[in-house]
Structure 1
Amino acid sequence: MEDDQNTAHPLLRGGRKEKSFSHGFTKAQIQSLTAICEALIPSMPITALHVSSQRDPPPSPSLVSFYKASGSDYQVPDQVAELMVKRGLPDAVTLVSWVLWALSTRLGTLLLCGSTCLSLNFPFIRSFSEMPVEKREKVLMAWSRERSFFSALRLSFALFKIFCVYVFYSWTDVNSKNPSWEAIDYSPGPLKPPKNPPPKSFKDSIISTTTLTKESLVSTIKTKGITVTEDPSADLLTLECDAVVVGSGPGGSVAAAKLAKSGYQVLVLEKGLYFTPQDYSLLEGPSMDQMYESGGILSTTDAKVLITAGSTVGGGSAINWSACIKTPDKVLKQWSEDFSLSLFGSHNYRAAMEAVCKRLGVTEKCEKENFQNEVFRSGCERLGLKVEFVPRNSPEGHYCGQCGYGCRTGEKQGTQCTWLVDAAEAGALIFTGVKAKKFVMRENDGLERKESGKPWSRERDQRCVGVMAVTGCKVNQKGKKSSLRLMIKAKLSVSACGSLLTPPLLISSGLRNPNIGRNLRLHPVSMAWGYFPEQDCGESLRGKCYQGGIITSIHKLVLENQDHDSGVIIETPFLGPASFSAIFPWLSGSEMKEAMRRYARTVHIFVLVRDTGSGEVMKERKITYNLHRTDREKFKKGLRTALRILVAAGAVEVGTHRSDGQRIKTKGMRDEDFEEFLDGIEVFGGAYSGEEKWNLYTSAHQMGSCRMGADEEKSAVDERGESWEAEGLFVCDGSLMPTALGVNPMITVQSIAHCISDNMVEFLRDGEGGVSEAAMKHASEMVRKEI
């Protein structure tokens, strides 16, 4: 099995060779894109940046090569084009395609670049690629600040910049190396053998549909004891089980484990792939591509918020930064009282949190903190700010700093190492590479349920009888790729796709509750940074920003006129070089290279806000979000505190991620200068907002888009997790949260799932016979009719 996995997932190991591309851009458009990439990352002599002095040793060959390198090298433009088409939103791809076409013409360049493209020589107007790189760079600077009718150019700039620098710093050659990494002092790994390999029984429970033909898939399913029937004319397989769980993340894995351990046949559908710890390469590009939703390049429709979410077996828990914080008491009180959800005031919920923490092996302290957390803790202590250890689902001595790409040691206890293992040992099967398309409904005739007086006896208009899905890529015996439809008939169905995908799936299944897809919370994050040259720091602040435990310390900000919980927390992130470059402000090509040269010793501190603002997600990848004015005020106060922490810890320069590169050097800085700088801290909308300056926010926590409640008018599912509209359809992920949480949601999601799963078990036990034969026959007829 392990050899098969290694063969199946070569991208996770890196090693990108020269290749042909299928992005669809014309030669003229690629010429324009190449000119843009070269302007964003220009080649320059190292002396131009004054990086050496008489007392410094001469620059290393790698540093010289780094400054000479250009964004037009290494097939970067073609890779950027391909990544844009593969991962970009369709509207964004249309926009950049038009811009690239316009720039390939002289009149289009005049329209978009103004007088900068004019020349004294015939034909007097130059296309963008004909302009000197210095003038192209000035055009991009102007675009980044554009506020006029052409504000779409600012969005175009943001897209070009993010994709270009991301590709430049993440691509790898056949030896899994990037030429810039040595110059910026970055080295992924090391690749040590895992300490805790997964049990063989778990790997045997994984059915990787993308590596099997239809014939071998059917044979494999039958050997597992699952009833399966074939319909060759429709390229359809029909499977039968007690419960089907769509999604293998924190919510779905707990549900699968509790249902399977209660004696029910459970099938888990995961559209991502399964990787053992030994599969993890710790390479940023391929790891993000294979383990994150949309390859880690997902944003709101206006590019205001960059969103990261897991898309692999284990979901977000596989790439979580280990933080495991219980649901705050204030939140429990709010959900219990304001939303009339007695679950969150119950002993059962607190017992569930204890059970979850025990199963994940959560520890309360960290034996050794990394460079970033040492800086953070030092700054907090010097300012007299309370700083606490962050509980983690790993041993106290766990020092892996790249768990965002999967935990190579196997010490981090994600759900693929815990609850899914429990589910597999109880007989559950996990299908990978399977994408759910819709839950299959039929009219509820009211005869399939006994009127028991229990909560679920409430009559619903529909009955869910299973899910329709497709395999990601099936290879038949002739070597051709095709999709294969799967109809999974089940007595109980669970949507555990996460806050971004559960609403679109429910809507595509015909559900009409207006709360589905609304009330999306993102825990928006904004960052401050500080530069700590090694020669200016003592022995206590050694190391690199990407090494060691990612989040081990936390400061909970207390605001004036508020209680101890302001809804703002401050912690440290993990940023690989590509992610670092994508969110760091671009002021010029030289400024960007200088920022990347300092990458390893640049400490980031992030401010996370328990958001009042909200968004919507009705269709996949169509995410809108509005930042509330009160959240902006919290960001201002949080960023000011973060900057104070960095200065107190000894940073020689600090700044924010605001588009104008807001920063200040601290050497010789007077207190009044610093206070004036802090007074200028403001937060703005995204690149498409039309404001003078703009911010790029990030989000790693998505919640609330299918929230539970006691009232059908205000919620998408009832307090037991069951759909108001469809009997036998439960939701079991972060989308259930009534509001934003304010801390990492990993424990909360699993604790809610732990409680809701008891309701699912009770549903199956009390619903003798579950779905009738007539209902199953009706479902099959519906599927055939649709096909």
Structure 2
Amino acid sequence: MAEPLTAPVPVTLPPPPPTDFMTADQWETLWAILDGVLPSIAPASAVTDKDTQIAIPDDEFNGLIDKVRSSLDGAPSRDEIAEFLAFRPSEHPAFRQDCIRGLGISPARAKLAGVLGTLGTHAGSLLLTGYWSPITQQPTNAREAIIKSWTTSRLSTFRALAKSMVALAGKANSTTNPYLHKISGYPDVPKDWKPAEGYDYVFLQVPPAAAGKEDDVHEITTDVVIVGSGPGGGVCAKNLAEAGHEVLVVDKGYHFHPTYLPMPQSAGLEYLFDHSGAYVSEDTSISMTSGSCWGGGGSVNWSVCFKLQDYVRKEWADEGLPLFASAEFDECMDRVWDFIGAGSEAIRHNFSNNKLLDGCKKLGWHAGVAPQNTANKEHYCGHCHLGCGLGEKMGPAQAWLPAAAEAGADFMEGFTVEKVLFDEDGVTAIGVQGSWLSRDEQGGLHKGIGDRTQRKVVIKAKKVILSAGTFWSPVILMKSGVENPQLGRNLHLHPVNFLMAVNRQEIRPWEGGIITSWSGEFENLDGKGHGVKLEPLCMMPYMAFSLQSWSSGLDTKLFTMRYRHINNFISLARDRDSGRVFVDPETGEPRIEYSPSDFDRENNLEGVIGLAKIAYVGGATEIRAHIYGLPPFIPNASEQAKHVQDKDPEFTDAAFGKWLQHLRTLGNKPPVSAFGSAHQMGTCRMSASNESGVVDERGSVWGKKNLYVADSSVFPSASGVNPMVTVMSIADWISRGVSKEL
């Protein structure tokens, strides 16, 4: 009899990609830069190599340790703190591998290689660093000084380079630092974890091609092929299968039973997310996260359920889409709401969510509870970003797709669709073509193609529904020869800025529901429905520390040690302005051109100021906005205590008001400021005419037959709310229409 599980089943990472996209000298230059971002720091008496360590006078070093220990509940020992400060991430193999994984798939890697090559020459070094000797020949303290000079440069190119290097180092350090768990108390396994039940999926398997006929195509026939298993694809699959149609759902991602969840950060980013956890826009202004596993974004989102707000519904209806003002759409939303068990009755707020609610109350601002798709279970889990090990989140993999399977739907994991196939008329869709990659013989995903079956597959179908997401659905259509000037455009991302607050007590911010509260105080700043919502942020280490601003290696390490006392908030904009998705000519994958506009970033900034005020009245001991050049604000506790209900602390605490003015002056202009996004919308927008969009009100691609899109890419503009319920509601409408046509 097998021993009961006490932790999630581990998964093995694949080997990192080849490093030949940069030379050995360029790699050494990169490691030298990252050494300046996160240097080894030690007391002067313990320094053994002045070139690789930054020395701090013993008295000062001991004072720092005393200060750290006095500010933390359950503080680490003096030796543990000293070990953490002395650790040199740039020499750690796991740190380097993480950087290689990220850069290996970056479209900007050739540009970075060029910069690193220039830095490796004497003339280039003098131009970019002020030193004649290249950075690889400089001691660590000089390397840190170079990064500092970049962060304060008058040239945005240098500031953007520093931001990129800090983000690369911060993400790799957060996922691989061997001392971080001990120093912070963060566990990969949630407290009281136990194995949960999940649906026992059966996935179609394709036999290997016969010897000598490796190019033979395997063919499958069905009524409807649905590309993507996320919120849109899951709803379509259930509705169409229950209506009696033969349905096949395919996804390039793979399924992971709840017993594998949540994953450690590195594994989760590799197997649960697209592009190893993050896309970065062409100008590096914004980092975007998108799910890519069985269940799609619905498997890694944070359970938040919002119905589309009335003013957005009216906006879309006024654009010639009466669906959104109709009783039929009300019925779609209600069906979805009931099926996923959305509600707020069982919510227990954690520290961060309570702080948002309490802060808004003290300021006299709007605040509300964010319903969850957890069937009225408490779901006190802060790890859902890396998969729901509790099996309580009623996403596609737990709700819609099992219902579809019970109604007879078939499934394929590991199937990457390359293009839609059309009949001889070039108009009528008749299926899809792509490549299937099996698991290995042990069910793993880390081995190379030689240990797995890869096969070209054609799926013939009467109807094709793309639910591949805002990045991939337009790319598939482009690669299929669909021509429409709006295709890939109108990309909305709900760009977010961040604010961190340090608290007196230990709060263990990775525990409890991620977003169970929100504020709409600033959601309509222009009178036309554009503004920001204020919400807590997921506190996985890499999310907490990848995008923070940087002033020195010591400050970064000291701040990281306070992780257990920190919470993080976001100012999330309903963006008015947009970008586009296009196809990478080398890889065939999506690339993103998007930079937050002046209009949208100003809205974001108002939200950050609002969050700072919430943190202030909530008693934070330190407030940090992720804006380069802005020092943290350290409130005067006696001034904080004087706060009066409904008063604005900007005008009652002169020091705080001065800091906020400095924040406004610096602004948050891209590409230097840190923007993130977890919502993507609009690249196949629904429209009243083929001149203004890609699909009609039925989700049918303009100018084509039997081809539909049912995901967030069809949003006519930004939804302004977490998009899951809206995606599902639109997919409910579209799939019911497809069923009637069949």
- TM score, norm. by length of structure 2: 0.87
Correspondence for 1:428: 409
Amino acid in the other structure paired with 2:511: Q
Could you say which residue in structure 2 is the equivalent of 1:578? 542
- More deviation, 582-591/30-39: 30-39
CA contact (8 A) 2:467 2:709 kept: yes
Q: Please report how far the alpha carbon of residue 751 of structure 1 lies from its aligned counterpart in structure 2 after TM superposition.
A: 0.3
Using a 3 Å threshold, how does the CA distance of structure 1 residues 103 and 439 change in structure 2: closer, same or farther?
A: same
User: Which of residues 34, 40, 47 in structure 2 aligns to 1:37?
Assistant: 34
CA drift of 1:13 comes to: 2.6
Question: Equivalent of 1:385, from 348, 365, 384?
Answer: 365
Going from structure 1 to structure 2, the CA distance change for 1:626 and 1:164 (only over 3 Å counts) comes to closer
SS state of the match for residue 620, structure 2?
Answer: coil
Alignment partner for residue 657 of structure 2, among 663, 675, 698?
675
How far 1:288 moved relative to its partner? 1.5
AA matched with 1:239? I
Q: Is the 8 A contact 1:191 1:281 kept in 2?
A: no
SS for the counterpart of 2:291 is: coil
Q: Is 1:102 equivalent to 2:118 in the alignment?
A: yes
Matched, 1:364 2:358: no
State the SS of the aligned residue for 2:181. coil
C-alpha distance in 2 between matches for 1:309 and 1:105: 38
The Cα of 1:482 is off from its aligned counterpart by 6.5
Give 2:586's aligned residue.
Answer: none
Pick the aligned partner of 2:146 from 136, 139, 147. Answer: 139
Note if contact 1:12-1:283 (Cα within 8 Å) is conserved in structure 2.
no
How many Å separate the matches in 2 of 1:365 and 1:680? Answer: 42
The residue number in structure 1 matching 2:171 is 166
In structure 2, the CA distance between the partners of 1:364 and 1:608, relative to structure 1 (3 Å rule), is: same
Identity of aligned residues (%): 30
Q: Tell me by how many angstroms 1:353 deviates.
A: 0.8
How far apart are the structure 1 equivalents of 2:13 and 2:407? 40
**1: CA distance between counterparts of 2:9 and 2:431?**
33
Take 1:547 and 1:103, find their aligned partners in 2: how far apart are those partners? 43
1:230-309 alignment, distance < 5 Å? 232=213, 234-309=215-290
CA distance in 2, matches of 1:744, 1:21: 34
Alignment CA distance shift 1:302-1:12 (3 Å): farther
- Go from structure 1 to structure 2 and tell me whether the alpha carbon gap of 1:396 and 1:417 turns closer, same or farther (over 3 Å shift): closer
Partner of residue 23 from structure 1, selected from 10, 19, 23:
19
Instruction: Tell me the distance in 2 between the aligned counterparts of 1:485 and 1:16.
Output: 25
Amino acid at match of 2:618: A
* Deviation string, structure 1 residues 433-491 (Cα, Å, up to 9, x no partner): 110000011343xxxxxxxxxxxxxxxx6111110111246779995556311111110
Give 1:302's aligned amino acid.
D
Q: Where in structure 2 are the equivalents of 1:349-498 lying within 5 Å?
A: 349-394=329-374, 395-444=376-425, 462-472=427-437, 483-498=454-469
C-alpha deviation, 1:528, in angstroms:
1.5
How many angstroms apart in 1 are the aligned matches of 2:87 and 2:668?
33
- What do the CA deviations read for 1:49-102 (whole angstroms, capped 9, x no partner)? 84333995884432221111012232156314522343312xx10122223333
The answer to whether residue 208 in structure 2 is matched with residue 214 in structure 1 is yes
Using the alignment, how far apart are the partners of 2:105 and 2:544 within structure 1? 19
Q: Residue 750 in 1 paired to residue 731 in 2? A: no
DSSP 3-state at the match of 2:373: coil
Amino acid at match of 1:570: L
Call closer, same or farther: CA 1:514–1:564 in 2, change over 3 Å: closer
Instruction: Give the 3 Å change call, closer, same or farther, for CA 486–21 of structure 1 in structure 2.
Output: closer
Matching of residue 339 in structure 1 with residue 319 in structure 2: yes
Equivalent position amino acid for 1:648 in 2: V
Q: Establish whether residue 186 from structure 1 lines up as the match of residue 186 from structure 2.
A: yes
Change (3 A) 1:382 1:77: closer
1:584 to partner: Cα distance? 0.6
Q: Cα gap change, 1:233/1:165 in structure 2, threshold over 3 Å: closer, same or farther?
A: closer
Give 2:24's aligned amino acid. K
C-alpha deviation, 1:564, in angstroms? 11
Matching residue's letter, 2:513: G
In the superposition, relative to structure 1, how do residues 681 and 478 fare at CA in structure 2: closer, same or farther (>3 Å)?
Answer: closer
RMSD: 2.9
Closer/same/farther in 2, CA of residues 474 and 413 from structure 1, 3 Å limit: closer
Measured after TM superposition, the shift of residue 511 of structure 1 is 0.6
Aligned position for 2:561: 597
Counterpart-to-counterpart distance in 2, 1:404 and 1:441: 38
Question: Which residue of structure 2 lines up, in the alignment, with residue 531 of structure 1?
Answer: 502
Determine whether 1:629 maps to 2:598: yes
Aligned partner letter, 1:425: E
Contact 1:16/1:171, CA 8 A, preserved across alignment: no
* Larger deviation, residues 565-574 vs 62-71: 565-574
> In 2, Cα distance between the equivalents of 1:97 and 1:325?
43
Alignment of 1:764-783 (within 5 A): 764=742
Measure, in 2, the Cα distance between the counterparts of 1:233 and 1:53. 66
2:135 alignment partner in structure 1: 128
Contact 2:283 2:595 in 1 (8 A): no
Letter paired with 2:65: S
Q: Which deviations, in whole Å up to 9, do the C-alpha atoms of 1:149-187 show, x marking residues without a partner?
A: xx5444433332222221122027xxxxx3222113322
Secondary structure at the aligned position of 2:253 is classed as: coil
User: Contact (CA 8 Å) 2:190, 2:381: kept in 1 or not?
Assistant: no
Question: Paired residue for 2:619, among 650, 660, 670?
Answer: 650
Measured in 1, the distance between the counterparts of 2:194 and 2:244 equals 32
Shift of 1:14: 5.8
Counterpart CA distance in 2 for 1:399 and 1:586 is 32
Q: Deviations over 1:330-376 (max 9, x none)?
A: 1111111x211121111111111111111111122344211211221
For structure 2, the residue ranges without an aligned partner over 5 or more in a row are 44-59, 442-447, 584-588, 640-651
Superposed displacement of residue 677, structure 1: 1.9
Which amino acid counterpart does residue 382 of structure 2 have in structure 1? G
1:454 match: none
Pair 1:69 & 2:87 matched: yes
Contact 2:684 / 2:714 at 8 angstroms: preserved in 1?
yes
Q: Alpha-carbon deviations, 1:634-691, whole Å to 9, x = none?
A: 222211111110000001111211122442110266712212222233333323xxxx
In the alignment, residue 341 of structure 2 is paired with which amino acid? G
Q: CA deviation at 1:103?
A: 3.2
Contact preservation (8 Å) 2:286, 2:675:
yes
Higher mean alpha-carbon deviation, 230-239 vs 609-618, is at 230-239
Paired with 2:523 and 2:233, the residues of 1 have a C-alpha distance of: 37
Query: What residue in structure 1 maps to residue 197 of structure 2?
Result: 197
Q: CA deviation at 1:626?
A: 3.5
Match of 2:397, SS? coil
| Structure 2: distance between partners of 1:74 and 1:146 | 30
| Structure 1 alignment gaps of length 5 or more | 118-124, 173-177, 219-229, 445-460, 535-541, 688-693, 765-787
TM-superposed CA distance for 1:192, in Å, is 5.3
Change (3 A) 1:53 1:570: same
User: Counterparts of 1:27 and 1:235 in 2: how far apart (Å)?
Assistant: 41
